[in-house]
Amino acid sequence: MPEVAKKATLDLAQKKLFVNGEEFPWRISEDGPQLDDLVSPLRRITLTFYAHDVEVIPAKTIAMEKAALRVEQARREVADAQLRAKEAGERLLAAHAEAALAEAEAKGQINWTKDEDGE
């Protein structure tokens, strides 16, 4: 966040603004700068100045930030669900393989032979 000016000087006669001793470098509207608040610890100065072209970059609203957080949370939940589904699929496949092996063994379709070590 930008720092707060240490001192602002309003020259109401010449309609000029000085910030930290430096004159505001652009043309200010005919109304000149306005001091809006004398009570707050930080004084508020409003001024209108001119530009030949303006680009507006929208501020992120709280709703936009919350929506982005919800999207990110949903992405994480989807990734977790995909991982759990993959693990469950692997377990199911292993269980089916074991069941098919047991069935084939029970039918005598598999003949386990011992190797030289007796295993």
Residues 18 and 41 in one domain: yes
Q: Is residue 63 part of a domain?
A: yes
Q: Is residue 117 part of a domain?
A: no
The band of 114, judged by pLDDT with boundaries at 50, 70 and 90, is: low
pLDDT of 115: 63
CA Rg, the chain, in Å? 37
Burial class of residue 33, CB neighbours in 10 A (0-12, 13-18, 19+): buried
Residues 65 and 103 in one domain: yes
Q: Is residue 3 part of a domain?
A: no
* Chain position carrying tokens 């000087």: 9
Structure tokens at 17: 């603004």
Mean pLDDT across the stretch 60-84? 90
Q: Is residue 118 part of a domain?
A: no
Mean pLDDT across the stretch 92-110? 88
pLDDT of 117: 64
Residues 63 and 101 in one domain: yes
Q: Is residue 91 part of a domain?
A: yes
pLDDT at 80 over 90: yes
Neighbouring CB atoms inside 10 A of 81's CB total 10
Domain span at 72: 59-108
pLDDT at 112 over 90: no
- Tell me the percentage of the chain whose pLDDT exceeds 70: 92
Q: What is the pLDDT of residues 2-30, one digit of tens each?
A: 788 888 888 888 888 889 999 988 888 88
d(CA 7, CA 9): 7
More confident residue, 113 or 114: 113
When divided into structural domains, the chain yields a total of 2
pLDDT of 46: 87
d(CA 119, CA 103): 22
- According to DSSP, the residues that pair with 18 across neighbouring strands are 9, 23
Q: Is residue 81 part of a domain?
A: yes
Q: Is residue 39 part of a domain?
A: yes
Residues 32 and 70 in one domain: no
Angle made by CA atoms 31, 37, 39, in degrees to the nearest 5: 155
